Structure 1
């Protein structure tokens, strides 16, 4: 990279783990915390001082009254305040640029005696990097009294025994709680303190975002009895309880994420900490922001537009909400010569001559008034043109200026600036410059009005999008429950079939997917596949499939994947039983009664010709198999099942059909869509 383009990293720990921006769900990587303030003192003044001290430590110090603004090569910041009726708010916006992209931080504090007081902190990276918690957060927690519901957010893990279970249930069921509660359970007879330390090590990224608890075996049994088996916490797993869990509701259980024991066992401590932290960030991001915070942010956005364009008082007042203070506006000079300004450089000029007693040139409003330069004393040949002083006799009107538009005499040193101004506008007349400035002012006002209208439209679209997201979540949970009901019906039908037609000894029957507990998420599928090796063998990487859990929020993708595996299993079983003698496509087209099927539209035996013609893309699909299938240990698996679209990713299951040889299906890959031609 060119040295001139390199900007030093400031204010962030070095992080080189950027991910593909096209697939980034910022809810997992952004830091976003909302803290309810219960402090009864002048906490806004403390907030402002803490924020200024933090900026000073980062080398971004600002002084003076609000708004305080700094713009440098490596950062931009704005610390501003606003009044909204009885409420007051302060907001810091900070953009830091470096070789890790741009870090954008917003710290917003709102003191509202009616709707409640809040502090909101958000950090986001333009390249999708994991945002560390800013150091200002613990300082705010230390000096300002905040609560999550009725509980504090502490940087520690609590151990809960049966005698303290009621206190834990109060936290779990607190209707004012907004932060998730991460819980693990100790197995019977385990050292509770040892399990607490295990959980504490994995909860390092939860500070300020979530609660952390460990339940002993008796407390966990009582919890499962009170909330139902769907809400249980198995030993060795970690579950995050979202706010307001509904007892004995399998649909609501989908909201409360689970990190399986197998994944925790296979992961390093660092990767587990990051995983727990990402889930905490996601849970924090999905909680609906209080309306008062959204309105305060929007008021700051409107004020920033007004401050940028410096609109006139008459037009500005029409856009203000009741109780909103008007920001500083353009201040006209009531009398005397006008001051014109060139962008980024004020240049003083004097007006053209006008008849004494007649109308003086119209005053031009400017962003930053330049020093007024008085005209030199009139020469005998050029009389002064000024309005009569009250009480003094009026002077006769002079002859009209034979050269209108000429610049009046100016002191030495100013002529160069005047000439530069005229050259900038491409004219030799100050009247033309004044006309041009008026046109520019009109365009600025029009741009400001358009921007304000766009802000209103943006806010309306954001509210509609939020409602749609909530509706989609509800519909996906209903669909997931419907899949569960259908699976239960299939299990019952299979059980009846086995009892009605006992063609073989029970021990001789292979384990069927319907006989197993359905995996709750993608990370549970590899372990479940270990029981199906009679017909289906998984040869892929567990870590790749586990990554899908962060996108499959309602587990619909995992359930679709398990349906595909069930169909592959029954296809191989039907071939072994002599019920079907065709290939997978003909099996899916006419699935025998009593065997599981899968939509043929979601099955692809090959890739496109352009994709199969590229060696690099073929190499991605060259996946492991046992030596009895191929001596080299790898085959190219073009055939795949299309799983449910999850956000911006389209998971795929790639497999090799060796039913004609070993009698099995080999699943070599379950993960995000592999590369294709044109990608």
Structure 2
């Protein structure tokens, strides 16, 4: 172990993250350690990893400092982190390898690479790839493939389950094929493998044969299908019921694959996978583990500094020769001896003689000997402020860690909101372009009918002017004949804190559709569910986009007592004698991180001629948001 050197403070940023679960593998931490040591000792590095014998800080090469912290917890689980700090003249690079193993041989393997800011995109370290070759990693509940897997129809059940796995974090690449092109499947698979080599440890990939491509596409909506001889990137949590969701899941086209440089394509796919890996939020369990390990590293730094101070104090005491015998003699009782100076008690004089002799090596109590003793004591006492400073430093580190934790939580939330906002903005742009194209087409058709001078201004109705806040929206619920708000206003009013007028505008539009549905259901002109009504709406009528309406919560949420109870909202006594009813049916107002506002409703159009809105507010808790 070495004294901790103070690293330079050049800024670094998280460049890439590989994270996967391990299930029921008794020896996985041993396998991880083997790959770690092999990675340190390879010809490119030749780091002296043998020095890392336990928790501590070590210099494993010129400019390379390694540290290890470990926490063996009461429940039998073990968490540990290896940290490598490289400062070799090309900016600072930091690599973390973190493992968590419980007593049932389940756990996590987590590799982070921090790179100098402004250096472009990082790459997944070979360490993560090598570990995945010997450890069976899982992304969510399904295998994280070390390289693209050739798949047939027998594999489709597993692939579809992986696509819809709500715990999946990484990309899922699907490469399609058909029988029309004379391309051997083996050559196509090798080329896909070449393009996706930089995504190992970050994403899973399957190369579908012709039959598997056809059968998978038969199960998927047209918007989300995999075109033969393309590679489609599926983000986590695809919304197959929403055609507009398809814009998230980009397609590397056949033309691009043929015409573009393979190295450039490989880099693009690797960079997008790395970029995605750094923006998706960590599971809360790992956030807690990360903070424990950071705290342990801070304690290690302070303890090492205290060790240096203690060593300095020891050096001061050892700077003078000692008489034979133990220093413990200083604490032994002293027999009373006749004093050499009648003004000094014998016990004090004897003690002074022994201290001078033991510490300074002088046989007699002289002025020089006492001065030497005083000097040594002064130097030792001078270390006390340093120890006090270290105590204050420890307190400050804890405070800084708390501040950092809060900032990390905020950054995670803001990143998710930014991603969601970008996706929604892209959808709005597409809708706007489609609407403008439709207006131009209708104008041309009217011109052909000699109706080109038709008045395009909409009739001036109060309900046509949407509210720009939820406060206004709640106040204007009386403008609807069939939609009634029965909930608590506060969650809706809290949404105004986010200064997003388009949420209130969108909600108003959805309420208008629900009101029109309820009117038609009440007068007998329509007799089916809201979902059918949305799908059957004719052009020219306001509607709710597919994927925005959910007939109910997922089975997981519905069957959870706590989550189900949160979806019990107030209704009039004529609806339920207890005054509350379960409202699983909901409208997804927007995607915006953990806020992602929702509107929960109860459809009683068939018997009461009403739709009751029991809740408007931020996303309620479920397994994904908890």
TM bracket, shorter-chain basis:
0.5 to 0.7
**CA–CA separation in structure 1 for the residues paired with 2:232 and 2:25:** 35
Q: Is 2:57 aligned against 1:69? A: yes
Q: SS of 2:26's equivalent?
A: coil
Report the Cα offset of residue 88 of structure 1. 1.0
Alignment deviations for residues 67-94 of structure 1 (CA, whole Å, 9 cap, x no partner): 1432253211112321233221121101
**CA–CA separation in structure 1 for the residues paired with 2:410 and 2:229:** 40
Report the Cα offset of residue 398 of structure 1. 4.4
Alignment gaps of 5+ in structure 1: 1-20, 312-327, 332-338, 350-369, 378-383, 414-418, 505-679
Which position in structure 2 is the counterpart of 1:494?
440
**CA–CA separation in structure 2 for the residues paired with 1:388 and 1:155:** 68
Q: SS of 2:69's equivalent?
A: strand
Relative to the length of structure 1, the TM-score reads 0.53
**CA–CA separation in structure 1 for the residues paired with 2:79 and 2:320:** 37
Which position in structure 2 is the counterpart of 1:303?
296
Alignment deviations for residues 286-334 of structure 1 (CA, whole Å, 9 cap, x no partner): 33222222222221211122222229xxxxxxxxxxxxxxxx9879xxx
Cα–Cα, structure 1 residues 64 and 105, in superposed 2: closer, same or farther, change >3 Å? closer
Alignment deviations for residues 459-480 of structure 1 (CA, whole Å, 9 cap, x no partner): 1110122122222322333333
Equivalent pair of 1:375/1:408 in contact (CA under 8 Å): no
Alignment deviations for residues 476-518 of structure 1 (CA, whole Å, 9 cap, x no partner): 33333233322222122111111112499xxxxxxxxxxxxxx
Decide which of 435, 439, 455 is 2:381's aligned counterpart.
435
**CA–CA separation in structure 2 for the residues paired with 1:387 and 1:122:** 53
Q: Report the count of equivalent residues.
A: 418
Residues 541-560 of structure 1: pairs in structure 2 closer than 5 A: none
Cα–Cα, structure 1 residues 439 and 167, in superposed 2: closer, same or farther, change >3 Å? closer
Cα–Cα, structure 1 residues 494 and 223, in superposed 2: closer, same or farther, change >3 Å? farther
Flag the structure with more relative contact order, 1 or 2, with Cα contacts below 8 A and sequence separation at least 6. 2
Alignment deviations for residues 4-41 of structure 1 (CA, whole Å, 9 cap, x no partner): xxxxxxxxxxxxxxxxx99x9x67xx332112111342
Which position in structure 2 is the counterpart of 1:48?
33
Cα–Cα, structure 1 residues 117 and 288, in superposed 2: closer, same or farther, change >3 Å? same
**CA–CA separation in structure 1 for the residues paired with 2:307 and 2:63:** 30
**CA–CA separation in structure 1 for the residues paired with 2:266 and 2:332:** 81
Report the Cα offset of residue 454 of structure 1. 0.6
Which position in structure 1 is the counterpart of 2:71?
82
Which position in structure 2 is the counterpart of 1:389?
333
**CA–CA separation in structure 2 for the residues paired with 1:249 and 1:105:** 40
**CA–CA separation in structure 2 for the residues paired with 1:115 and 1:466:** 30
Cα–Cα, structure 1 residues 480 and 31, in superposed 2: closer, same or farther, change >3 Å? closer
Equivalent pair of 1:115/1:292 in contact (CA under 8 Å): no
**CA–CA separation in structure 2 for the residues paired with 1:130 and 1:170:** 31
Q: Is 2:163 aligned against 1:178? A: no
RMSD of the TM alignment (CA)?
A: 4.3
Q: Is 2:217 aligned against 1:271? A: no
**CA–CA separation in structure 1 for the residues paired with 2:138 and 2:199:** 15
Cα–Cα, structure 1 residues 167 and 450, in superposed 2: closer, same or farther, change >3 Å? closer
Cα–Cα, structure 1 residues 139 and 432, in superposed 2: closer, same or farther, change >3 Å? same
Which position in structure 2 is the counterpart of 1:675?
none
Which one has a larger percent helix, Structure 1 or Structure 2? 2
**CA–CA separation in structure 1 for the residues paired with 2:56 and 2:88:** 23
Report the Cα offset of residue 448 of structure 1. 1.1
**CA–CA separation in structure 2 for the residues paired with 1:262 and 1:492:** 30
Decide which of 5, 9, 23 is 1:38's aligned counterpart.
23
**CA–CA separation in structure 1 for the residues paired with 2:282 and 2:257:** 31
Which position in structure 2 is the counterpart of 1:476?
422
Report the Cα offset of residue 102 of structure 1. 2.7
Decide which of 348, 370, 378 is 2:316's aligned counterpart.
348
Report the Cα offset of residue 119 of structure 1. 0.6
Residues 506-545 of structure 1: pairs in structure 2 closer than 5 A: none
Decide which of 139, 143, 157 is 2:148's aligned counterpart.
157
Alignment gaps of 5+ in structure 2: 1-9, 340-344, 363-367, 451-626
Q: Which moved more, 1:244-253 or 1:150-159?
A: 150-159
**CA–CA separation in structure 2 for the residues paired with 1:298 and 1:225:** 46
Q: SS of 1:244's equivalent?
A: coil
Q: Is 2:242 aligned against 1:249? A: yes
**CA–CA separation in structure 1 for the residues paired with 2:413 and 2:284:** 13
Cα–Cα, structure 1 residues 279 and 81, in superposed 2: closer, same or farther, change >3 Å? same
Alignment deviations for residues 546-586 of structure 1 (CA, whole Å, 9 cap, x no partner): xxxxxxxxxxxxxxxxxxxxxxxxxxxxxxxxxxxxxxxxx
Q: SS of 2:109's equivalent?
A: strand
Which position in structure 2 is the counterpart of 1:112?
102
**CA–CA separation in structure 1 for the residues paired with 2:129 and 2:380:** 54
Equivalent pair of 1:226/1:247 in contact (CA under 8 Å): no
Equivalent pair of 1:186/1:192 in contact (CA under 8 Å): no
Residues 577-656 of structure 1: pairs in structure 2 closer than 5 A: none
Q: Is 2:90 aligned against 1:122? A: no
Report the Cα offset of residue 444 of structure 1. 1.2
Residues 439-478 of structure 1: pairs in structure 2 closer than 5 A: 439-478=385-424
Equivalent pair of 1:242/1:283 in contact (CA under 8 Å): no
